[in-house]
Amino acid sequence: EFFQQMIYYTGRNRHVPMLKLWLGTVPVMAMFKAETIEVILTSSKQIDKSYLYTFLQPWLGLGLLTSTGNKWRSRRKMLTSTFHFTILEDFLDVMNEQANILVNKLEKHVDGEKFNCFFYITLCALDIICETAMGKNIDAQTNDDSEYVHAVYRMSDLVHRRMKTIWFWHDVLYLLFKDGRDHRRNLKILHNFTTNVINERANEIKRDEEGKSDGKGMNLSKRKRKAFLDLLLNVMDDEGNKLSLEAIREEVDTFMFEGHDTTAAAINWALYLLGCYPDVQKKLDNELDEVFGNSDRPVTSEDLKKLKYLECVIKETLRIFPSVPFIARGLNEDCDVGGYKVVKGSQILIIPYALHRDPKYFPDPEEFKPERFFPENSMGRHPYAYVPFSAGPRNCIGQRFAMMEEKVILSCILRHFWVESNQKREELGLTGELILRPLNGIWIKLKRRNIDAS
């Protein structure tokens, strides 16, 4: 309901620069205009996340998402190189493999009744992030019984419930409730799993190095695919220090948390919108034919560059349904925003969902028009009118990874199937939790794709 209220109030108050609301005794500034958001997101000082992010710390520690100040600056600098494009290319194989498993699972729905595709996509995204972040294949798509998979889902729900339930905020009090005990149990499953994977990987690398020195070793890169974890085990700061095992776990857990739900939501929303707008789907079909012809070969990095209309489809999807519905900061000093003094200690709540619907920058904001993101139509648009991956110094480090994954999975699905969707927007049951979800799922029908699918 909080999310629905925010949509209602921001929609009615487009003429004001921000809204003030109170969470108990804490003033919260809701911002949804490009000009006011820019002041906060461009600041190199206002990088503290909101108090509410502390509830992610038991799981994610002080990783890239939750840390601040010098710790965040040095960690961000160290990790930027691990997201270099040439490194991301190594992950294409994993994305292609998992996308093919997904397509095989969707086959049974061709020409059938409508079905909820949400969990199919989420399990695929989870398999991809597990293998790329940890080098661990958990087969979530074929074995949805995985204890780790259940713990990831449950933990996200528990954290969100805790954020909005004030009597859960105190640690000791929290454990008196069933939620608190559930939280502790799932936390143990998540941390044990990651710790074991890290130790296993670190030992393998050590054995490799020892093997190399006596000439018997088999190179790790030949035997196993590289994962973020391998890069984290070797990355160094300016003083030449490596990350501690605990720091590595923080970052791996952060990748796991941030890297599956967000991309899965974006892919689901894209399928929903394409199913509602067959004319857009037809244009995309034409592009896929140009790039792939009739083949079902894997997607290459060259293909990714050519899929320009698909990129616009994804961008427009993230405009209408941004995966992250709220970005929150805590002000560490007084700040002038558009002539208003916002005091230190205030919480800033940026609402991309409302920002992306500003008719000044996006006429007919509810309409799905990927052409908005053609280069000629984007020229002159305010740089902070569209922030699906946040912006400024704390923008999302994984946005290229996300875009790559979304392109691979969507192109793979749409080369095989034609999507139809009959859900009206009001039937989706939009809910702004940690990510923007459809409470009632995404219900689609699949037809076998052919050239005359329309």
Judge whether 220 and 208 are in contact, CB under 8 Å.
yes
How far is Cα 152 from Cα 260, in angstroms, rounded to an integer? 10
State the burial class of residue 224 (Cβ atoms within 10 Å of its Cβ: 0-12, 13-18, 19+): middle
Q: For 146-195, give the secondary structure using H, E and C.
A: CHHHHHHHHHHHHHHHHHCCHHHCCHHHHCCCHHHHHHHHHHHHHHHHHH
pLDDT score, position 412: 97
Q: Which residues on neighbouring strands pair with residue 26, listed in sequence order?
A: 23
In the sheet with 18-23, reading across from the earlier edge strand, the strands are 18-23, 26-31, 347-350, 327-330
396 is in an annotated binding site: yes
Cβ 280 vs Cβ 313: under 8 Å: yes
Q: What beta strand segments (E) does 263-397 contain?
A: 327-330, 335-337, 340-342, 347-350
Separation between Cα atoms, residue 306 and residue 303, nearest integer Å: 5
Q: What is the pLDDT of residue 454?
A: 40
Angle at 339 between CA 335 and CA 343, to 5 degrees: 30
Phi-psi region of 114 (alpha: psi -120 to 50; beta: other; left: phi over 0): beta
Q: What is the pLDDT of residue 452?
A: 45
Q: How far is CA 230 from CA 83, 152, 246, 346, in A?
A: 13, 22, 15, 40
Tokens of 442: 């995404």
- Mean pLDDT for each 10-residue chunk of the chain (454 residues)? 90 92 86 95 89 92 90 87 77 96 97 96 94 90 85 91 91 96 97 93 83 61 72 81 90 90 96 98 97 94 97 98 94 90 92 96 97 96 96 92 97 97 93 90 93 44
Looking at domain 2-439, its CATH superfamily turns out to be: Cytochrome P450 (1.10.630.10)
Burial 2-15 (b: 16+ CB within 10 A, else e): ebeebbeebeeeee
Cα separation, 140 vs 126, whole angstroms: 7
Q: Where are the domains of the chain?
A: 2-439
pLDDT of residue 82: 78
| Rounded Cα–Cα distance for residues 30 and 48 (Å) | 16
Q: Where are the alpha helices (H) located in 214-295, listed in sequence order? A: 220-223, 228-234, 245-276, 278-292
pLDDT of residue 449: 87
Q: Which residues contact 205 (CB under 8 A, 6 or more apart)?
A: 220, 230, 233
